[in-house]
Amino acid sequence: MPRDASARREFATRWSVRVVTFGLALVGALLLARGAAASNAAVGLSDASSDGLAVPRWLYVATGGAAIGASALLAGFVTDRGFVERLHDWRRDVAASNRVREVGRAVAAFVGLALFALVVYRGFTGPQLSTINFGVVVVFAGGRAGLTMAAYAVGNVWPALNPFETIGSRLPNGFVDYPDRLGRWPAALGILLLVWLETTTGLTDTPATLAAVVAAYGVVAVAGAVLVGSDAWVRNIDPIATFFRFYGRVAPLAWEDGRLRASLPAMRLVDIDERTDNVVDANEGNDPVSDDSSDPRGQLMTGMGDVAVAVALVWELTFSGFVTTEQGVAAVRAVVGVGVPPTLVYAALFVGGFALFYGAYVAAARVSVRRVLTTRTPRELAVAFAPSLLVVAAGYHLAHYFAFFLSLLPSLLAVLAAPLSAPTNPVVLTLPAWVSALNIVFVLGGHLVAIWVAHSIAYRLFPSRLQAIRSQYPFVFVMIGYTVASLWLISLPTATPAFLG
């Protein structure tokens, strides 16, 4: 038994946490062992499911209890800094051939340009039926679902595929210096704008409109790259490049020092120390094909604009889930019924929800500073812990789009095999009911890994173990709120959004 007072307090705190952990984990395990299934609430091409699951309140309690228990378990048992460091510093070389990498980049660049041209062309000239139109299927089933899942599960190949960077980087560029004070706020706002267009303009149902939007995006992206420079545009303004770069940092594969290296999933998010050697860059932190230069410290996030991007990735899936549920549709209809224009209702919901999510996270940073009595500012803690939100977002995305991607995979393969002709017999898979049960696993799994990332970050920020433990709790509670909201949404029966299209 420790003898001095501070050691005794730490000892008592750790054992109290362990007792609470055991009780919460036991209750959560017993409740979750009963099993459940959930419906996919993703916005996409597949018909809305009419089968929903009435999730009892005990599931919400079990979710929160399991999350708190996992956090307490990490805080109470995993206090060995050496063990924590070994986990997120583990690396293994997979390949080191620059020739293969160069060929891969060239092939990917050609594929990206060809897909962009085909999406625009077939969007205008192909059949105006979303389930067989090349543009709609490739953009939403291939890109929004499949390529995004590959980005956080394997590695980010978008920098090599990106047709706008391929063109913009080869033109004279950099006529105007990008103002550093803006950070990545333009990218955060761009992501929110694209989500707004996806969910409120019926792009998934009107191939010609989608083609026009993609073409306009291409013009803006190339013009922006020419104006401020390709690197500045991709790093700070381009919402699609930022979207994939942030998700890609969760993945296990990345090019470092000319070598393709594997790490444990999400461990490259723990980059807040002073290392300067052999560190993956922030701009292409998880791109198995490319690793353009960027921040030498390897930090993915350095400002509040980066925090806004991370929160936006969490919120956009929550928003798309809400507006495609029966309860969400009923709420929108009720407000519109009293005379409020539908567009205003959706705008208020979209902007207000993001502000609520962002405000809750910033408030957690302020509470954390007060709890640990540190000289670090709320802004520093907000930026440092924000990478853990990307794992939460990845779990949300997988829950929303996994079944969607599987059901449309035959259609995606069909249009890729014959891009200039419409499939004569489009196939949409009907998935077994147990697939929807994976949604809960994806959400909870992402949340638990996010807690570990936050735990590792805390141990790099603070020399005291008690400070590291206590600093995490406000952020963990915010993540629990995000997770409970997501579990509630994926458990609801889905419906076609009201007044859209």
At 69 the pLDDT is 54
**Residue 233 exposed, middle or buried by CB count within 10 Å (0-12, 13-18, 19+):** buried
495 near 48, Cβ under 8 Å? yes
Do the Cβ atoms of 230 and 173 come closer than 8 Å? Answer: yes
For residue 32, the model assigns a pLDDT of 38
Strand order across the 259-262 sheet: 92-95, 259-262, 253-256
Per-residue pLDDT tens over the stretch 205-247? 889 999 999 999 999 999 999 999 999 999 999 999 999 999 9
Give percent of the chain above pLDDT 70: 78
> Percent helix, strand, coil in the chain (nearest 5)?
65, 5, 30
What is the pLDDT, as a whole number, of residue 280?
Answer: 33
Cα 355 to Cα 493: distance, rounded to the nearest angstrom: 26
pLDDT confidence tier of residue 291, bands split at 50, 70 and 90:
very low
Which contacts of 296-303 are long-range, i.e. CB under 8 A and separated by 24 or more positions? 297/271, 298/271, 299/271, 299/272, 300/245, 300/246, 300/249, 300/269, 300/271, 300/387, 301/383, 301/386, 301/387, 302/183, 302/383, 303/183, 303/184, 303/383
315-327: pLDDT as tens digits: 998 998 888 888 8
pLDDT at 38: 35
Query: DSSP letter at 485?
Result: H
Percent of the chain at pLDDT above 90?
A: 43
pLDDT digits (tens, 9 = 90+) for 10-69: 544 454 444 444 444 433 433 333 333 333 333 445 443 334 444 454 555 455 556 555
3-state class (DSSP) for residue 337? helix
pLDDT of residue 168: 92
Tokens (6 digits) for 363: 């408030």
Q: How confident is the model at residue 447 (pLDDT cuts 50, 70, 90)?
A: confident
Q: What is the 3-state secondary structure (H, E, C) of 23-74?
A: HHHHHHHHHHCCCCCCCCCCCCCCCCCCCCCCCCHHHHHHHHHHHHHHHHHH
The reported pLDDT for the residue numbered 486 is 77
- Mean pLDDT, range 110-132, rounded to an integer: 93
- Give the tens place of pLDDT for each residue, 465-485: 888 888 888 888 888 888 778
- The arithmetic mean of pLDDT across residues 355-383, rounded, is 92
Q: How confident is the model at residue 72 (pLDDT cuts 50, 70, 90)?
A: low
Confidence of residue 272 (pLDDT cuts 50, 70, 90): low
pLDDT at 366: 94
The upper half-sphere exposure of residue 79, i.e. CA atoms within 13 Å in the direction of its Cβ, equals 20
Scanning the structure block, which residue is given the tokens 């094909």? 289
- Spatial separation of the C-alpha atoms in residues 371 and 197, rounded to whole Å: 41
pLDDT at 125: 93
Show the tokens assigned to 299. Answer: 């930090």
Q: Which of 322, 278, 364 is nearest to 494 (CA)?
A: 322
Does 2 or 495 have the greater pLDDT score?
A: 495
304-314 mean pLDDT: 96
pLDDT tier for residue 79 given thresholds of 50, 70 and 90: low
Please answer whether residues 68 and 484 qualify as being in contact, where contact means their C-beta atoms are separated by less than 8 angstroms.
no
Taking the C-alpha atoms of residue 205 and residue 71, their distance in angstroms, rounded to an integer, is 43
- Containing 445, the helix (H) or strand (E) segment is helix 434-461
Q: Residue 479: its pLDDT value, please?
A: 84
Tokens for 287? 């791109």
Distance CA 83, CA 88 (A): 9
Contacts of 118 (CB under 8 A, 6+ apart): 134, 135, 138, 419
Distances (CA, A) of 442 to 224, 243, 386, 397, 486: 37, 20, 20, 9, 11
Q: According to the model, what pLDDT value does residue 4 have?
A: 55
DSSP count for the chain of H helices, then E strands = 19, 3
Q: Taking all residues of the chain, what is their mean pLDDT, rounded to a whole number?
A: 80
pLDDT score recorded for residue 187:
96
Digit-coded pLDDT (tens) for 380-434: 999 999 999 999 999 999 988 999 999 999 999 999 999 998 887 777 788 887 7
pTM of the model: 0.84
Task: Return the bridge partners of 419, or none.
Answer: none
Tokens 């008690």 belong to which residue? 466
Cα-based distances in Å from 145 to 15, 151, 383, 402, 403: 44, 10, 27, 7, 10
Chain centroid to Cα 126, Å, comes to: 32
DSSP string, 303-329: SHHHHHHHHHHHHHHHHHHHHTBHHHH
Q: What pLDDT shows up at residue 34?
A: 36
Judge whether 294 and 461 are in contact, CB under 8 Å. no
Positive or negative CA dihedral for 165, 167, 173, 179?
negative
**Sequence spans of domains, the chain:** 5-490
